[in-house]
Chain A
Amino acid sequence: MTAPPLRLPDALTALRNQLAAAHLGLATPDRDAAHRAARAVSDQIDDYLLPRLRDLDAPLLTVVGGSTGAGKSTLVNSLVGDQVTTAGVLRPTTRGPVLVCARADVAAFSGDRVLPGLPRVTGSAGGPGTVQLVARDDVPAGLALLDAPDVDSVVESNRQLAGQLLAAADLWVFVTTAARYADAVPWDLLRTAQERGTALAVVLDRVPGEAVAEVAADLSGMLERAGLSAARLFVIEERPLTQGRLPEDQVGPLRDWLHGLAADQEARAAVVRQTLTGALDSLEHRVLDVGAAMDAQEAAARSLHAAATAAYDGARAGVDEGVRSGTLLRGEVLARWQEFVGTGEWMRALQGQVSRFRDRVVSAVTGRPTPAVDLQGALESSVERLLRAEADRAAERTVTTWRSLPGGADLVAGAERELEQSSPDFPEAAAAQVRDWQGAVLDLVRDQGADKRSTARFLSWGINGAGAVVMVAVFAQTGGLTGGEVAVAGGTTAVGQRVLEAVFGDAAVRSLAARAREDLEARADALLRYEQDRFDVLVDAAVPAPTSAEALRTAVLELAAARRAAA
C-alpha cells in the first residue's frame, strides 16, 4: 500500500483551522445547527480522518453505539467474554466510554492518535470525559471495540460524546431493540451514517422469541427503505442472562463476523476505505452548509448595519434640515443677536435684577419658593438640543429595527435601555463641538474681516458681534424665512444680514455662511458617526470575518484537489 499523499492531511488541517476560526456570533435561525456542524466536522477531522490517513493499517475502531437501555454494554461483555464494562438496570448505564483492544494494539490507542481530546485511563472506570482502555488477550489484533454512551438519554453530555465517538469510528455496530427500532432519535443517526457512507452493522437486541421473524423483517424493510440495505443485521433474542452475558448462540454470529474482519486484511481495508471515503465525501456539503450559515450571518450583519446607517442618516438629514431651514434662529441664536443689536447688556442686567428682586419679595410675602431655574435647559443651546434629539431618535430607531431583524434582538438584549438613547457623554461632546464651532466661526470672521477696509467698523461692534451675525446668517441664508416669520422672529435677522452684507459684500457673506454651515455639519457628522459606531461595533464583534466564508470554500476546493491528486 502506498503512503498517503502528504497534501491531503494538510488540506484537512487547513479546513479544520478554518472551521475553528469560524465565528458565528449572530443569532440567525441556522446558527446553532451550523455551530454543531462545524464542531462535528472539526472533531471528525481530528478524531478520525487525520489519524486514519496517517496510518491506513491501524486497527479497526468499532464503536458499539445505540439507545439507552439497548444492551450495548451487555453486548460488549458478551463479545469479549468477560466483565469489561458495567451493565445495569439504571439508565443511562455507561457514562465513560470503554475501549477494548488486543495487547498488541494498545500502543495504537493509548496515545493521542485517535480521539486526542479524551484522556485515557486504565484499570477502573474513568467517568465522563475520559476513555477507559482495556487490553485483552482474547481480542484479535487489528480490531478494537468501543462501548459508547447512549445517544438518547436525559444526560446531554452522553449524547454529545456518543455523536463524537460515532464520527470517529471505522465501523458502527448500532444496537437497537425490539421496543425501540422505530424511535426517531436513533434513526436520525442511522440516516447520518447513510449520508456519510459509514460502514455499519445493526444489532436488533432484546427480541421476544415469538416475534423474531416479524420484527427482523420489519426492520430490514425499514433499513432498505432508508438506503442501508448494505448493513449487516444481527438479531439477538431476549433470553435470561447467564453471569450477565448473552447466550453464546446469540452473540456467536456477530463475534465471528468481527473476528473474521480482524483476520482478513482485505476485508478490513475495504471497511476502512468505505468509511474514510464516505467521511471525506460528506465533508464538502457539511462544510458548505457551515459556509452558507456564515453567508447568512454576513447578510444579517449587512441588514443590521443598513438599519443603523438608515437611522443615523436620518439623524444627519434632520440636523442638516434644522440648520438649513433657518428656523433655528428662534432659539438661542436669535437671543444672542438681539442681545447684540437690540437690548444692551446693561438693560438686560437691570431687568434681571428687578425681576429677581420681585421674585424675592413675592416669595417673602407668599411663602412660595421662587421657581427653580432648569439650568440644563437654560445652558443647552438650540443646536445642542437638535443634535441630542436626533441622536436619541436614531438610537431608538436602530434598536427598534434591530429587534425585528434576525440576530438583532440578541445583540441588544439586556442593553436596550442604554442603547436606545444617545451615549451618556454625548451631551457633553455635543456642547464641546458647538462651542468649538462658535469659536471657528469667530475665527472665520476675523480672517475675512482682517483685509477689509471696514475693520474699523468691526471693532466698533467687536468681532463677537460679527460672529453672531454670521451665525444668524448661517441659519437664515437659505431663505427659509417667509412672511409672518420675518415679522415675528426674523425681522432682526434680515437687518443683521443686510448689515453684514454692507460690511462684507453679499458674496462674502454667502461663502462665509456656507463655510460655517459645512463646518457645523462636519462636526455633527462626526458626533453621529461616533454614536453609530456603538452599533457597528456590536455587529462587527459578532459576525465572522468578512473573508472567512470565502476562505472556508477555498479550503473545501483545496481538499477536493488534494483528493484528486491522492487518487
Chain B
Amino acid sequence: MSRRNLPLADRLGALREAVEVAEGRLEVPEVGQARALLAKAGARAALGDATVVALAGATGSGKSTLFNALSGAEVSTPGVRRPTTGVAHATVWGADGADGLLDWLEVPRRHRHDPEPALDGLVLLDLPDHDSIRIEHRLEVDRLVALVDVLVWVLDPEKYADAAVHDRYLAPLAGHAGVVLVVLNQIDRLDAAAAAQCLADLRGLLDREGLGAAPLLAVSARTGTGVVELRGELARRVTARKAASDRLTADVRGAAAALRAHCAVTDDGALGRGQRADLVEHLGDALADAAGVPAVTSAVERSAMRDGVARTGWPLVRWIRRLRPDPLERLHLGDERARTSLPPAGPAELAGVTTAVRRTRDVVGEGLPQAWRDDLRRTVEVSEAALADRLDGVVAGTDLGPDRVPLWQRAAGGLQWLLALVALAGAVWLLTLVVLGFFRLDDVVPLPRVEGVPLPTLLVIGGLLAGVLLAVVARPLVRLRSRRRARAAERRLRAAVDAVADADVLAPMAAVREDAARFRDAVERAGR
C-alpha cells in the first residue's frame, strides 16, 4: 500500500488515539487543534461527498468575475469599488441542494446551477477578499479556508507576489498542495511574452513555498481564456469524489506534523527489566530510610536479644530484663490501618527520597520532549505526596517473620532451670546438714565427697557456675540469632518497600513513558 493511500478512516483513528492518549497529559495547543480537526472531520463526513471548491484571492483579483464565469450567471456582483465581496456566495451544481453542507459552512447566499453531468456535486464558493482594510472579511476567509475541500487561489499580475497571500495563506498550505489550485487571472492584461515570464516567476515562487504539486493555470475571466481548462480541472476533482477526503488527509497529516514536535525521539516505550530493577533498588534504598526500616530492624534485633537473653539468662536475674519494655512493641506495628509510632521521616531522609525520585524521573524521562517531561513531573508530584502514609501503612502491615522460640533456646532455658535446681538441691542439702548438725545428728544424712569436695557444695557451686557459664556462652548465640532475625525482618520490609517503590512511584512514571510511546506511534500512523 502506498503511503498516500492509507485510508482516511485509519488516519483519523490514529489521530483520535493520539488525542485520547494526550488527554490530561499534554498541555499543548496542538492537541486542541487536532481535537478540533477530528470534530470537523466527523461533521464533514456526515454531510456527503459533494466537492466544496472556494475561490479565494485578494481584493480586485477578479474572483467574482471568475465565479460568475464558472457559474454562468451574475451571482456575485463584481464592482470597481474596493473592497467588494463581503460575504461568501455559493453556486450548487446538481439535484441535491447540498443545503446541509452550506448550513454547516454558514454560507447563506446560494444559487442553484442547472444540472451539468461533469460538475454534478460541485459546490462553488466565492470568498471575500483577505487583504483589504476590512478585518471581518479576512476572518471570514480564515474560517472558510479551514473548512472547504479544494482551494482555488485567484491571483492577478499586479498582486501575485503580495506577502499578504503568500506568507499568510499559501506558504502554510504547503502540505495541502493536492487540494490547492492557483489561478493567474487577468492574463489578458499582459502580452504573451510577459504572461509567460510572469507565470514562470509565480511557478518558481510556489515551488519554493512547497506548492510544487499545485497546478497553476493562466485564466482571464473577462475574455474566457483558460476558463474551460479550469472547469475541466474542477470536473476532474468533482467526479473523483475524493476531494473532501484528500483535504482531510492533508489536514490530518498537518496536525500529525504539528504533534510530532511532542513525540519522543527514542524507540523504546517500556523500561527494560534490568533498568526497572535498578531503579526500584535505588528508590527502595531511599524509601526504606524514609519509612523507618532501619529503626524497625534495630527494634527487632533488640527485641529478639531481650527475649533471648531472658530465656537463656541466669534464672535468678533474668526477670530484671523483663522489666524493660519491648522496643518492638513500642513502635505499635502490626495494624496497617493505624498509624505506627515510628518517628516521621526527617529532612535528610525526605531529601534522599526527593533526590532518588528525581533521578528515577530523569532516567524515565530520557528522550522525552518537554511536554511529556512536564507531565512526568506532575505525575511524580502526585505520587510523592501520598508516599509517606503509604510507606507507614506498608511498614505496619509487613509480617516481620516467624517469632518462634528456637529449640536450643528452650533447651538452654530448661538447662538453666535444671542447673538452678541442682544448685538449689545442693543448698537445701547443705542447709539440712547445718540444721542436723545443730541438733548433733551428723550422720543421719550422708555426706559423699567427690575428689575430697563435699557433694552438696559441689552441687551449689557447680550449679551456679554452670548457670552463669551457660548464660555467658548463650549470649553471643542469642546475638547471632537476633541479628539473623533482624536481617530477615529487613529483607521482608525491603521487599514491601520495593513493592511500594515499584507500584506507587515507578509504575505511574512508566505509564507516562508508555503513553508517550503510544502517542508517538499513533501520530506516526496518522501522519505517514
Contact = CB atoms under 8 A, between A and B. Distances in A.
Given A385-B348, A392-B355, A488 B299 contact: yes
Contacts of B373: 416
A377 B295 contact: no
B392 interface: no
A386 B159 contact: no
Interface string A487-498: 111000000000
A388 B159 contact: no
Contacts of A184: 131-133, 135, 138, 164
A374 interface: yes
Nearest to B165: A154
Interface string A391-402: 011001000100
Contact of A322 (B167, B348, B358): B348
Given A178-B60, A183-B131, A388-B351, A154 B82 contact: no
Contact of A181 (B82, B205, B347): B82
Contact of B343 (A179, A400, A485): A485
B97 interface: no
A180 interface: yes
A163 B349 CA distance: 64
Interface stretch (B193-201, B229-237, B401-409, B510-518): B193-201
Contacts of A211: 80
Contacts, number: 163
Contact of B159 (A179, A181, A487): A179
A322 B132 contact: no
A147 interface: no
A214 B81 contact: yes
A153 B162 contact: yes
A384 to B, nearest CB: 9
Interface size class of B (residues with CB under 8 A): 35 or more
Interface stretch (A112-120, A327-335, A518-526): A327-335
Contacts of A385: 348, 351-352, 355
Given A211-B80, A215-B81, A389-B355, A179 B347 contact: no
Interface in A208-245: 208, 211, 214-215, 218
Contacts of A318: 347
B429 interface: no
B187 to A, nearest CB: 11
B163 A152 contact: yes
Interface in A309-330: 318, 321-322, 325, 327-330
A153 B161 contact: yes
Nearest to B298: A488
A128 B198 CA distance: 21
A35 interface: no
Interface string A31-54: 000000000000000000000000
A183 B348 contact: no
A70 interface: yes
A180 B299 CA distance: 90
Nearest to B352: A385
B520 to A, nearest CB: 20
Nearest to A188: B133
A507 interface: no
Contacts of B190: 89
Interface string B153-168: 0001111111110110
B348 A180 contact: no
A329 B58 CA distance: 77
Contacts of A218: 81-82
B454 interface: no
B163 A182 contact: no
B61 interface: yes
Contacts of B161: 68-69, 91-92, 153-155
B351 A208 contact: no
Contact of B342 (A325, A377, A392, A488): A488
B356 to A, nearest CB: 9
Contacts of A164: none
A421 B355 CA distance: 10
A385 to B, nearest CB: 5
Interface centre among B158, B164, B167, B344 (most CB of A within 10 A): B158
B66 to A, nearest CB: 14
Contacts of B160: 69, 91
Contacts of A92: 161
A277 interface: no
Contact of B354 (A180, A331, A392): A392
B80 A90 contact: no
Contact of A179 (B82, B348, B350, B358): B82
Interface string B86-129: 00000000000000000000000000000000000000000000
B352 A68 contact: no
A259 interface: no
B295 A327 contact: no
Contacts of A206: 158
Contacts of B210: none
B20 to A, nearest CB: 26
A178 B167 contact: no
B13 interface: no
Given A385-B352, A488-B295, A392 B358 contact: yes
Nearest to A212: B80
Interface in A139-176: 152-156, 159
Contact of B60 (A180, A214, A331, A390): A180
B226 interface: no
A218 B285 CA distance: 82
A187 interface: yes
A180 B295 contact: no
A180 B201 CA distance: 21
Interface string A57-97: 00000000001111000000000000000000111100000
Interface string A374-387: 10010000110110
A325 B347 contact: yes
Contact of A153 (B132, B138, B163, B358): B163
A477 interface: no
Contacts of B135: 184
A385 B156 CA distance: 71
B341 interface: yes
B348 A331 contact: yes
Contacts of A183: 58-59, 82, 131-133, 164
Given A416-B370, A484-B330, A180 B158 contact: yes
Given A180-B159, A389-B351, A488-B295, A421 B346 contact: no
B83 interface: yes
Contacts of B330: 484, 487
B352 A389 contact: yes
Contact of B158 (A70, A388, A393): A70
A263 interface: no
Contacts of A386: 347-348, 351
A90 to B, nearest CB: 5
Interface centre among B156, B161, B201 (most CB of A within 10 A): B161
Contact of B348 (A89, A154, A155, A328): A328
A392 B342 CA distance: 28
Interface centre among B201, B295, B346, B358 (most CB of A within 10 A): B346
A154 B163 contact: yes
Contacts of A178: 60, 80, 82
A177 interface: yes
A179 B370 CA distance: 48
Contact of B167 (A154, A182, A325): A154
10 contacts: A67-B162, A68-B161, A89-B198, A152-B164, A154-B163, A318-B347, A327-B348, A383-B348, A386-B351, A389-B352
Per CB-CB distance, the 5 closest pairs between chain A and chain B, nearest first, are A327-B346, A179-B60, A322-B347, A382-B348, A389-B351
Given A68-B162, A182-B134, A389-B355, 8 more contacts: A153-B162, A178-B60, A179-B158, A180-B59, A187-B133, A214-B80, A382-B348, A382-B351
